[in-house]
Amino acid sequence: MATPDPAPDSVRSILVLRLRAFGDTLLTTPTLRSLKAAYPAARLSIVLEPAMAQVVAGLPYVDEVIPFDRLGPKSRGKWAELKATVAFWRELRRRRFDLVLDVLCTPRTAAMALATGAPVRVGFAKRVRRWAYTRLAHPRKERRYIAEYTADILRPLGLVRDSLELDFAVDGASQAAADAWLAGVGLAGRRPLLVQGAGGWEVKRYPAPQLAEAARLAAERTGERVVFLWGPGEEAMARDLAELTGPAALVAPPTDLASMGALLKRAGCLLTNDNATKHLAVACACPTATVFGPTSDVAWHPPADPRHVSVRLDLACMPCESMRCARGDHACLRELEPGRVADAVVRLMASGA
């Protein structure tokens, strides 16, 4: 027999299982926000890998991050990993959650959901994993924005998400530090073009000479400076891109997620590949021009929002969602003219979106 929908006043504790990925965690914020609105008296906890905690820091509807360190115990061997996993399961069960939602639905998170013993456990209907849940979400088959797909986890509870707006909180100290840096390089009160050349895997990245040329053309036509953003391990890439772009280019200082968000809040536009920085920009209300190659601009791009444009070719093989180009020529990005990319940036910056 199916369990009845939990009444809002009966739910005191909610657990969301997300674990990993900066961008995917940002894309989960509409689901988290809608959950808290439906169960305002409940304590909302989320399981994340430790580095992901900064994504939800300061959000008023997230009460607790429960860190799950997957790599630490794994590095000490299989026995240490097993003991840590069982101890984590026991801790989740001890907390006696009323409601659990597994938005990731991997074998690992399905086991976590089952281990909680919560009376209501919601997950997507995926093969054997479906037996870990008491309620199943059956998302529509067509390709959609991932934030919308994730929010389908609410439907078995009779809930719908409030909107697809992403959230990210920038603290005052981070904003002050970003503003001070901008003032120090002569950009106080300006709306520079920010550029991020990274991508989850190499075939997602617009080739460096083309990205630099697009940035140079956009800077020339808008009169704004270009600032290259970078994360851990990406500084050399950012400096190489700045050198290719020319004297209009600057390289941002070292940033964590909050300080990068602070820079995005002051930008006129972000030019980027399909990556986590793009989702951060969306959450920070920074217009984006995203170059898409092998990945889908339906799945990874806000729908029908004039502040965010995708720049892509229309090849029969797109999107392949592959880490290797089956054609062998990477045509989806190599044949995309920098001038076309620059046009998209210039239009966005001129519109004041």
| pLDDT higher than 80, residue 6 | no
**In this predicted structure, what is the pLDDT of residue 70?**
81
Residue type, 353: A
Share of the chain above pLDDT 70, in %: 99
CATH code of residue 205: 3.40.50.2000
Closest CA to 253 of 179, 168, 345: 179
Residue 163 belongs to a domain: no
| pLDDT higher than 50, residue 344 | yes
Q: How many structural domains are present in the chain?
A: 2
**In this predicted structure, what is the pLDDT of residue 1?**
40
User: Which pLDDT tens digit goes with each residue over 141-171?
Assistant: 789 999 999 999 999 999 999 999 999 999 9
User: Which pLDDT tens digit goes with each residue over 209-250?
Assistant: 999 999 999 999 999 999 999 999 999 999 999 999 999 899
Q: List % helix, strand, coil for the chain (3-state, nearest 5).
A: 45, 15, 40
312 with 225, same domain?
A: yes
| pLDDT higher than 50, residue 64 | yes
- Of 157, 182, 200, which marks where a domain is finished? 157
CB 320 within 8 A of CB 326: yes
**In this predicted structure, what is the pLDDT of residue 311?**
98
Q: The domain containing residue 28 runs over which residues?
A: 8-157
